[in-house]
Chains A and B, each alone.
Chain A
Amino acid sequence: DAKTTQPNSMESNEEEPVHLPCNHSTISGTDYIHWYRQLPSQGPEYVIHGLTSNVNNRMASLAIAEDRKSSTLILHRATLRDAAVYYCILRDSGGGADGLTFGKGTHLIIQP
């Protein structure tokens, strides 16, 4: 699976939108973009994923650049409960049931 690059940490204020960037310049046409987050002392939690089009769900939005070399996870209104490590991971659609390979992720800090 292709590699992703994320900032080590980001800080935001409560009730404000948060934009978490992810660069994946070597992405292939069959790579899905997955986002997971891990709250303190918890297992990773699925957030959202997409292939080409922007995606929305109850947790977040995923904006995918037209050339797919980058993407942005958008939390529309951050709460203190959103403080977590956010992982951007690529998974090749042909990769079968292989597990996720986690990078270092972005540590999101939410200020009250």
Chain B
Amino acid sequence: RKEVEQDPGPFNVPEGATVAFNCTYSNSASQSFFWYRQDCRKEPKLLMSVYSSGNEDGRFTAQLNRASQYISLLIRDSKLSDSATYLCVVNSDYGQNFVFGPGTRLSVLP
């Protein structure tokens, strides 16, 4: 089993739709969690950190469920510019062991 797994893609949704991605991780000692976004042929960029109580940044909401070891990302009112690959990232300790999931590709269609 991979350490970080994500929903298989691609997700093709119309503009304005709400879309949710899930991510599961296997290491129960994981301490910090992130969502990164990667555009085609570009580098990954931080979208948002994921906090235990859940957090929101505009149209994006991230949730963490430690008991079930999964993380989610909800995108509301999706825009064409949201089209990208979304990478779930887990840090297994307070060090620097960042493990990336395989990513889920989102295409928002006009």
* A, B: real partners: no
Which B residues are closer than 8 A to A by beta carbons?
none
Which A residues are closer than 8 A to B by beta carbons?
none
